[in-house]
Protein backbone atom coordinates (compact mmCIF):
# COMPACT_ATOMS: atom_id res chain seq x y z
CA UNK A 1 0.00 0.00 0.00
CA UNK A 2 1.20 3.50 -0.81
CA UNK A 3 -0.30 4.81 2.41
CA UNK A 4 0.41 3.26 5.78
CA UNK A 5 -2.57 1.68 7.45
CA UNK A 6 -2.63 4.40 10.08
CA UNK A 7 -2.48 7.24 7.57
CA UNK A 8 -5.22 5.63 5.53
CA UNK A 9 -7.60 5.35 8.49
CA UNK A 10 -6.75 8.86 9.66
CA UNK A 11 -7.28 10.39 6.26
CA UNK A 12 -10.50 8.71 5.19
CA UNK A 13 -12.28 7.15 8.10
CA UNK A 14 -11.57 8.92 11.39
CA UNK A 15 -14.27 11.53 10.76
CA UNK A 16 -16.69 9.16 9.03
CA UNK A 17 -20.27 9.30 10.20
CA UNK A 18 -21.81 11.22 13.08
CA UNK A 19 -20.37 12.27 16.39
CA UNK A 20 -22.34 10.87 19.31
CA UNK A 21 -22.36 11.75 23.00
CA UNK A 22 -22.53 8.04 23.88
CA UNK A 23 -19.08 7.38 22.35
CA UNK A 24 -16.83 7.62 25.43
CA UNK A 25 -13.74 6.76 23.37
CA UNK A 26 -13.76 6.29 19.59
CA UNK A 27 -11.17 5.47 16.93
CA UNK A 28 -7.53 5.48 18.02
CA UNK A 29 -7.18 3.23 21.05
CA UNK A 30 -7.18 -0.57 21.18
CA UNK A 31 -10.96 -0.56 21.54
CA UNK A 32 -13.90 1.82 21.55
CA UNK A 33 -15.77 2.59 24.77
CA UNK A 34 -19.50 2.96 24.24
CA UNK A 35 -22.28 3.81 26.67
CA UNK A 36 -25.66 2.40 25.61
CA UNK A 37 -28.69 4.07 27.23
CA UNK A 38 -29.94 2.62 30.51
CA UNK A 39 -32.74 0.05 30.12
CA UNK A 40 -31.79 -0.66 26.50
CA UNK A 41 -30.69 -3.89 24.89
CA UNK A 42 -27.81 -3.95 22.43
CA UNK A 43 -28.49 -5.34 18.93
CA UNK A 44 -25.38 -6.42 16.99
CA UNK A 45 -25.19 -7.23 13.27
CA UNK A 46 -22.34 -7.86 10.83
CA UNK A 47 -22.18 -8.37 7.09
CA UNK A 48 -19.35 -8.91 4.62
CA UNK A 49 -19.42 -7.82 0.99
CA UNK A 50 -16.93 -9.60 -1.29
CA UNK A 51 -16.17 -8.32 -4.78
CA UNK A 52 -17.51 -10.70 -7.42
CA UNK A 53 -19.84 -12.39 -4.91
CA UNK A 54 -21.99 -9.62 -3.42
CA UNK A 55 -21.34 -6.94 -6.02
CA UNK A 56 -20.01 -7.08 -9.58
CA UNK A 57 -16.28 -6.57 -10.16
CA UNK A 58 -15.66 -2.90 -10.92
CA UNK A 59 -18.78 -1.61 -9.13
CA UNK A 60 -18.77 2.15 -8.41
CA UNK A 61 -16.93 2.74 -5.10
CA UNK A 62 -19.79 4.99 -3.92
CA UNK A 63 -22.22 2.09 -4.32
CA UNK A 64 -19.93 -0.29 -2.41
CA UNK A 65 -19.54 2.22 0.43
CA UNK A 66 -23.29 2.82 0.56
CA UNK A 67 -24.23 -0.86 0.41
CA UNK A 68 -21.71 -1.94 3.04
CA UNK A 69 -23.61 0.20 5.55
CA UNK A 70 -27.11 -0.16 4.03
CA UNK A 71 -27.19 -3.97 4.33
CA UNK A 72 -26.29 -3.77 8.03
CA UNK A 73 -28.69 -0.88 8.67
CA UNK A 74 -31.39 -3.06 7.11
CA UNK A 75 -30.66 -5.86 9.60
CA UNK A 76 -30.95 -3.39 12.48
CA UNK A 77 -34.20 -2.08 10.93
CA UNK A 78 -35.57 -5.64 10.94
CA UNK A 79 -34.90 -5.79 14.69
CA UNK A 80 -36.52 -2.37 15.26
CA UNK A 81 -33.22 -1.11 16.66
CA UNK A 82 -31.84 2.42 16.55
CA UNK A 83 -28.43 2.36 14.80
CA UNK A 84 -25.58 3.88 16.80
CA UNK A 85 -22.03 2.60 16.23
CA UNK A 86 -20.09 1.00 13.40
CA UNK A 87 -16.83 -0.92 13.01
CA UNK A 88 -15.31 -1.26 9.55
CA UNK A 89 -12.85 -3.90 8.34
CA UNK A 90 -11.58 -3.14 4.88
CA UNK A 91 -9.46 -5.47 2.74
CA UNK A 92 -8.08 -3.68 -0.30
CA UNK A 93 -5.89 -4.86 -3.18
CA UNK A 94 -4.24 -1.41 -3.11
CA UNK A 95 -4.92 1.95 -1.48
CA UNK A 96 -6.12 3.76 -4.59
CA UNK A 97 -6.88 7.21 -3.27
CA UNK A 98 -9.67 8.20 -5.67
CA UNK A 99 -11.45 4.90 -4.93
CA UNK A 100 -11.07 5.39 -1.18
CA UNK A 101 -12.30 8.97 -1.31
CA UNK A 102 -15.50 7.97 -3.16
CA UNK A 103 -16.07 4.91 -0.97
CA UNK A 104 -15.60 6.92 2.24
CA UNK A 105 -17.81 9.80 1.07
CA UNK A 106 -20.75 7.49 0.32
CA UNK A 107 -20.22 5.44 3.49
CA UNK A 108 -20.02 8.64 5.52
CA UNK A 109 -23.19 10.04 3.94
CA UNK A 110 -25.38 7.04 4.79
CA UNK A 111 -23.79 6.66 8.25
CA UNK A 112 -24.56 10.32 9.04
CA UNK A 113 -28.12 10.04 7.66
CA UNK A 114 -28.75 7.34 10.26
CA UNK A 115 -26.81 8.93 13.14
CA UNK A 116 -24.10 6.24 13.10
CA UNK A 117 -20.60 6.96 14.45
CA UNK A 118 -17.60 4.95 13.20
CA UNK A 119 -15.80 3.86 16.36
CA UNK A 120 -13.20 1.45 15.04
CA UNK A 121 -11.69 -0.12 11.99
CA UNK A 122 -9.04 -2.30 10.48
CA UNK A 123 -7.44 -2.39 7.06
CA UNK A 124 -5.55 -5.20 5.40
CA UNK A 125 -4.13 -5.93 1.97
CA UNK A 126 -5.89 -8.55 -0.16
CA UNK A 127 -8.85 -9.13 -2.54
CA UNK A 128 -11.51 -6.41 -2.14
CA UNK A 129 -13.80 -7.23 0.77
CA UNK A 130 -15.68 -4.97 3.18
CA UNK A 131 -17.02 -6.01 6.58
CA UNK A 132 -19.18 -3.64 8.59
CA UNK A 133 -20.38 -4.41 12.09
CA UNK A 134 -23.19 -2.22 13.36
CA UNK A 135 -24.38 -1.89 16.92
CA UNK A 136 -27.74 -0.40 17.81
CA UNK A 137 -30.20 -0.56 20.64
CA UNK A 138 -33.88 -0.75 21.54
CA UNK A 139 -35.74 -0.43 24.83
CA UNK A 140 -35.07 -3.63 26.79
CA UNK A 141 -37.38 -6.48 25.78
CA UNK A 142 -38.84 -4.76 22.71
CA UNK A 143 -36.59 -5.77 19.77
CA UNK A 144 -38.42 -7.39 16.87
CA UNK A 145 -37.76 -11.03 15.98
CA UNK A 146 -38.62 -13.43 13.18
CA UNK A 147 -40.38 -15.74 15.59
CA UNK A 148 -43.53 -13.93 16.76
CA UNK A 149 -45.97 -14.36 13.83
CA UNK A 150 -49.31 -16.02 14.68
CA UNK A 151 -52.22 -17.39 12.61
CA UNK A 152 -54.44 -14.55 11.39
CA UNK A 153 -51.74 -11.86 11.46
CA UNK A 154 -51.62 -9.61 8.40
CA UNK A 155 -48.44 -9.88 6.29
CA UNK A 156 -46.88 -6.66 5.00
CA UNK A 157 -43.84 -5.62 2.98
CA UNK A 158 -42.19 -2.23 2.47
CA UNK A 159 -41.21 -0.79 -0.91
CA UNK A 160 -41.25 -2.66 -4.22
CA UNK A 161 -39.24 -5.92 -3.96
CA UNK A 162 -37.75 -7.26 -7.18
CA UNK A 163 -36.40 -3.94 -8.42
CA UNK A 164 -32.89 -4.56 -7.06
CA UNK A 165 -32.57 -7.98 -8.73
CA UNK A 166 -33.60 -6.43 -12.06
CA UNK A 167 -31.10 -3.62 -11.40
CA UNK A 168 -28.33 -6.17 -10.79
CA UNK A 169 -29.28 -8.00 -14.01
CA UNK A 170 -28.96 -4.68 -15.85
CA UNK A 171 -25.57 -4.02 -14.19
CA UNK A 172 -24.40 -7.46 -15.34
CA UNK A 173 -25.70 -6.97 -18.88
CA UNK A 174 -28.17 -9.85 -18.48
CA UNK A 175 -31.17 -7.55 -18.87
CA UNK A 176 -31.19 -4.81 -21.49
CA UNK A 177 -33.86 -2.09 -21.37
CA UNK A 178 -34.64 0.42 -24.09
CA UNK A 179 -36.11 2.82 -21.50
CA UNK A 180 -33.14 4.53 -19.84
CA UNK A 181 -35.27 6.11 -17.13
CA UNK A 182 -36.58 2.74 -15.97
CA UNK A 183 -33.13 1.16 -16.30
CA UNK A 184 -31.65 3.93 -14.15
CA UNK A 185 -34.33 3.58 -11.47
CA UNK A 186 -33.83 -0.19 -11.24
CA UNK A 187 -30.02 0.07 -11.19
CA UNK A 188 -30.26 2.60 -8.35
CA UNK A 189 -32.37 0.16 -6.32
CA UNK A 190 -29.47 -2.30 -6.50
CA UNK A 191 -26.57 0.17 -6.20
CA UNK A 192 -28.09 2.40 -3.50
CA UNK A 193 -30.73 0.49 -1.50
CA UNK A 194 -32.73 2.35 1.17
CA UNK A 195 -32.62 0.64 4.57
CA UNK A 196 -36.02 1.00 6.28
CA UNK A 197 -34.75 2.02 9.72
CA UNK A 198 -37.56 4.50 10.48
CA UNK A 199 -40.24 1.94 9.59
CA UNK A 200 -38.56 -0.73 11.74
CA UNK A 201 -38.48 1.50 14.80
CA UNK A 202 -42.15 2.47 14.35
CA UNK A 203 -43.03 -1.24 14.34
CA UNK A 204 -41.76 -1.76 17.91
CA UNK A 205 -44.72 -2.78 20.06
CA UNK A 206 -46.92 -3.23 16.96
CA UNK A 207 -45.42 -5.92 14.70
CA UNK A 208 -45.45 -9.51 15.94
CA UNK A 209 -42.47 -10.48 13.74
CA UNK A 210 -40.12 -8.91 11.21
CA UNK A 211 -37.31 -9.91 8.81
CA UNK A 212 -35.49 -7.93 6.17
CA UNK A 213 -35.74 -9.14 2.59
CA UNK A 214 -32.18 -9.72 1.42
CA UNK A 215 -32.32 -13.16 -0.25
CA UNK A 216 -35.74 -12.89 -1.94
CA UNK A 217 -39.23 -12.23 -0.56
CA UNK A 218 -40.49 -15.83 -0.81
CA UNK A 219 -37.39 -17.42 0.71
CA UNK A 220 -37.15 -14.88 3.52
CA UNK A 221 -40.85 -15.36 4.27
CA UNK A 222 -40.15 -19.11 4.55
CA UNK A 223 -37.50 -18.30 7.19
CA UNK A 224 -39.99 -16.16 9.13
CA UNK A 225 -42.55 -18.98 8.94
CA UNK A 226 -40.06 -21.59 10.19
CA UNK A 227 -39.01 -19.32 13.08
CA UNK A 228 -42.67 -18.65 13.96
CA UNK A 229 -43.94 -22.22 13.45
CA UNK A 230 -46.63 -21.22 10.94
CA UNK A 231 -47.37 -20.88 7.24
CA UNK A 232 -48.16 -17.83 5.11
CA UNK A 233 -50.35 -17.14 2.12
CA UNK A 234 -49.43 -14.38 -0.32
CA UNK A 235 -52.13 -12.75 -2.47
CA UNK A 236 -50.13 -12.62 -5.69
CA UNK A 237 -52.27 -9.80 -7.12
CA UNK A 238 -51.44 -7.58 -4.16
CA UNK A 239 -47.64 -7.80 -4.57
CA UNK A 240 -46.29 -4.21 -4.91
CA UNK A 241 -44.62 -4.22 -8.34
CA UNK A 242 -42.95 -0.99 -9.40
CA UNK A 243 -44.00 0.57 -12.72
CA UNK A 244 -40.36 0.36 -13.82
CA UNK A 245 -40.15 -3.40 -13.13
CA UNK A 246 -43.53 -4.09 -14.73
CA UNK A 247 -42.55 -2.10 -17.84
CA UNK A 248 -39.09 -3.70 -17.96
CA UNK A 249 -39.96 -7.39 -17.86
CA UNK A 250 -43.77 -7.67 -18.04
CA UNK A 251 -46.13 -8.71 -15.26
CA UNK A 252 -45.47 -12.49 -14.99
CA UNK A 253 -41.69 -12.07 -14.80
CA UNK A 254 -42.06 -9.04 -12.50
CA UNK A 255 -43.85 -11.34 -10.04
CA UNK A 256 -40.91 -13.80 -10.24
CA UNK A 257 -38.43 -10.99 -9.59
CA UNK A 258 -40.56 -9.79 -6.68
CA UNK A 259 -40.75 -13.24 -5.07
CA UNK A 260 -37.24 -14.55 -5.77
CA UNK A 261 -34.96 -11.57 -6.49
CA UNK A 262 -32.44 -10.61 -3.81
CA UNK A 263 -30.81 -7.45 -2.44
CA UNK A 264 -34.09 -5.59 -1.80
CA UNK A 265 -33.42 -4.66 1.85
CA UNK A 266 -37.12 -4.11 2.43
CA UNK A 267 -38.93 -5.16 5.61
CA UNK A 268 -41.35 -8.07 5.73
CA UNK A 269 -43.46 -8.07 8.89
CA UNK A 270 -46.67 -9.26 10.51
CA UNK A 271 -49.32 -7.27 12.38
CA UNK A 272 -51.82 -8.97 14.73
CA UNK A 273 -55.47 -8.05 14.15
CA UNK A 274 -55.77 -6.29 17.51
CA UNK A 275 -53.07 -3.82 16.43
CA UNK A 276 -54.32 -3.11 12.90
CA UNK A 277 -55.92 0.22 13.95
CA UNK A 278 -52.70 1.31 15.66
CA UNK A 279 -50.74 0.29 12.56
CA UNK A 280 -53.20 2.02 10.20
CA UNK A 281 -52.77 5.24 12.20
CA UNK A 282 -48.99 4.99 11.70
CA UNK A 283 -49.48 4.47 7.96
CA UNK A 284 -51.79 7.51 7.78
CA UNK A 285 -49.19 9.53 9.68
CA UNK A 286 -46.62 8.78 6.93
CA UNK A 287 -44.93 5.55 8.06
CA UNK A 288 -43.65 4.95 4.51
CA UNK A 289 -44.40 2.68 1.57
CA UNK A 290 -45.97 -0.49 3.01
CA UNK A 291 -48.37 -2.95 1.36
CA UNK A 292 -50.42 -5.79 2.78
CA UNK A 293 -49.53 -8.87 0.73
CA UNK A 294 -51.14 -11.73 2.65
CA UNK A 295 -51.92 -13.49 5.90
CA UNK A 296 -50.26 -15.87 8.35
CA UNK A 297 -51.97 -19.28 8.23
CA UNK A 298 -51.74 -22.65 9.97
CA UNK A 299 -49.27 -25.24 8.73
CA UNK A 300 -45.92 -24.49 7.12
CA UNK A 301 -44.44 -22.99 3.97
CA UNK A 302 -45.57 -20.19 1.70
CA UNK A 303 -48.69 -20.45 -0.45
CA UNK A 304 -49.26 -18.25 -3.49
CA UNK A 305 -52.96 -17.38 -3.88
CA UNK A 306 -54.17 -16.51 -7.36
CA UNK A 307 -57.76 -16.32 -8.64
CA UNK A 308 -57.36 -19.86 -10.07
CA UNK A 309 -56.14 -21.34 -6.77
CA UNK A 310 -53.26 -21.66 -4.35
CA UNK A 311 -49.85 -23.09 -5.29
CA UNK A 312 -46.87 -23.69 -3.02
CA UNK A 313 -43.87 -21.38 -3.32
CA UNK A 314 -40.86 -23.64 -3.83
CA UNK A 315 -37.89 -21.58 -4.96
CA UNK A 316 -35.59 -21.04 -2.00
CA UNK A 317 -33.76 -17.70 -2.01
CA UNK A 318 -30.41 -16.97 -3.54
CA UNK A 319 -27.84 -19.18 -1.80
CA UNK A 320 -24.31 -17.77 -1.85
CA UNK A 321 -22.83 -21.26 -1.59
CA UNK A 322 -24.96 -22.85 -4.30
CA UNK A 323 -23.30 -20.92 -7.15
MG1 LIG B 1 -31.30 -9.93 7.46
Query: Ligand 1 center to residue 11 CA distance, Å?
Result: 31
More confident residue, 63 or 16: 63
Percent of the chain with pLDDT over 70: 93
Query: Ligand 1 center to residue 78 CA distance, Å?
Result: 7
Q: Would you state the pLDDT for residue 4?
A: 60
Q: Would you state the pLDDT for residue 19?
A: 87
Phi and psi, residue 37, nearest 5°: -60, 150
Q: Would you state the pLDDT for residue 257?
A: 95
Asked if pLDDT for residue 267 goes beyond 60, the answer is yes
Query: Ligand 1 center to residue 73 CA distance, Å?
Result: 9
Q: Would you state the pLDDT for residue 13?
A: 73
Q: Residue 92 in contact with residue 49, Cβ under 8 Å? A: no
Query: Ligand 1 center to residue 146 CA distance, Å?
Result: 10
Asked if pLDDT for residue 54 goes beyond 70, the answer is yes
From the list 108, 93, 131, the residue with the least C-alpha distance to 19 is 108
Asked if pLDDT for residue 124 goes beyond 90, the answer is no
Q: Would you state the pLDDT for residue 30?
A: 86
Instruction: Determine whether 176 is exposed, middle or buried from the number of CB atoms within 10 Å of its CB (0-12, 13-18, 19+).
Output: exposed
Q: For residue 316, how many other CB atoms are within 10 A of its CB? A: 14
Mean pLDDT of 221-242: 98
Asked if pLDDT for residue 72 goes beyond 80, the answer is yes
Query: Ligand 1 center to residue 213 CA distance, Å?
Result: 7
Q: Would you state the pLDDT for residue 322?
A: 38
User: What's the predicted TM-score (pTM) here?
Assistant: 0.93
Query: Ligand 1 center to residue 130 CA distance, Å?
Result: 17
Amino acid sequence: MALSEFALIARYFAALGSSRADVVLGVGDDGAILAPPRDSELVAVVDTLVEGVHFPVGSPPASIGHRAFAVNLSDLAAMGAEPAWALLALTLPDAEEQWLAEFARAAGDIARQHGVALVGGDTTSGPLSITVQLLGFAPRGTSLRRSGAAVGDGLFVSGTPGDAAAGLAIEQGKLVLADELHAGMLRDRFLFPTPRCAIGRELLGIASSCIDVSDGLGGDLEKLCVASGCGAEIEVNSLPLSDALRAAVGEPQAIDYCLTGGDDYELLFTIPQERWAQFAAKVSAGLGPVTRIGTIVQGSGVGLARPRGVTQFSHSGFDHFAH
